[in-house]
């Protein structure tokens, strides 16, 4: 991601609902305001936005959704009203939902702003359980148990991912420590060798000059 971006980073351990409201002033050269949420691999994500203002009010609000691996899931210019983006992740990564509010060219300098309500649902929370209930003819209790089972499975997968990631980081740290240790030993031996060579050189020099 671009370094000048303004990050509102929110990372979740499990797939839950992220809801917040932001106010975006319109600028001629704005920096994106991004909301970050971590989502697992092959997870369904639903982003619902509700904005104030309207097209032609002197502002152009841009929405982009991508992950930290470079995958772009959604992009739309000049959004207003209600916007819904639905996609499925390809890898376990942080998802960035970025909004950029730009002043329309030729607009006089007045203070313009947009308020945006953002709701992000992922995993089991993003599924339409009413549709599942109707399609499979399930009882309300069965639907709730199904939803809880899927959320539990997501939590287990997330914990397994974090465990594997911790193991990889630990292996990397151990490998780095081992390399640093042997590099330090090599430096010490080199310094000792250099010191011994300097002593022998000085002794030879003094003998040649008949100083000793």
Summarised one tens digit per residue, pLDDT across range 128-157 is 777 777 877 878 888 778 878 877 877 787
What CATH number does the domain containing 122 carry?
Answer: 2.60.120.660
Summarised one tens digit per residue, pLDDT across range 152-194 is 877 787 788 788 888 888 888 888 888 899 999 999 999 999 9
Quote the domain boundaries for residue 18: 6-126
Summarised one tens digit per residue, pLDDT across range 25-40 is 988 888 999 988 888 8
Region 83-93 average pLDDT: 88
Residue 180 lies in a domain: no
Task: Please count the structural domains in the chain.
Answer: 1
Residue 192 lies in a domain: no
Residue 11 lies in a domain: yes
**129: its two tokens:** 């359980």
The whole-angstrom separation of Cα 49 and Cα 114 is 12
The pLDDT confidence band at residue 5, using thresholds 50, 70 and 90, is very low
Residue 133 lies in a domain: no
Region 76-101 average pLDDT: 90
């Amino acid at each position: 991601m671009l370094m000048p971006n303004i990050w509102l980073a929110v990372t979740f351990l499990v797939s839950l609902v992220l809801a917040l409201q932001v106010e975006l002033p319109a600028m001629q050269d704005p920096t994106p305001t991004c909301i970050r949420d971590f989502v697992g691999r092959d997870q369904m994500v639903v982003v619902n936005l509700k904005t104030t203002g309207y097209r032609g009010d002197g502002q152009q609000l841009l929405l982009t959704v991508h992950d930290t691996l470079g995958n772009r899931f959604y992009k739309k210019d000049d959004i207003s009203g209600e916007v819904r983006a639905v996609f499925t992740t390809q890898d376990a990564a942080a998802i960035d939902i970025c909004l950029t509010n730009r002043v329309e060219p030729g607009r006089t300098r007045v203070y313009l702003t947009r308020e945006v309500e953002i709701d992000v649902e992922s995993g089991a929370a993003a599924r339409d359980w009413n549709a599942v209930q109707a399609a499979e003819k399930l009882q309300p209790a069965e639907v709730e148990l199904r939803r809880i089972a899927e959320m539990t499975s997501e939590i287990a997968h997330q914990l397994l991912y974090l465990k594997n990631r911790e193991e990889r980081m630990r292996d990397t740290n151990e490998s780095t420590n081992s390399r640093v240790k042997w590099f330090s030993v090599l430096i010490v031996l080199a310094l000792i060798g250099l010191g011994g060579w300097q002593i022998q050189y000085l002794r030879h020099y003094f003998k040649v000059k008949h100083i000793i």
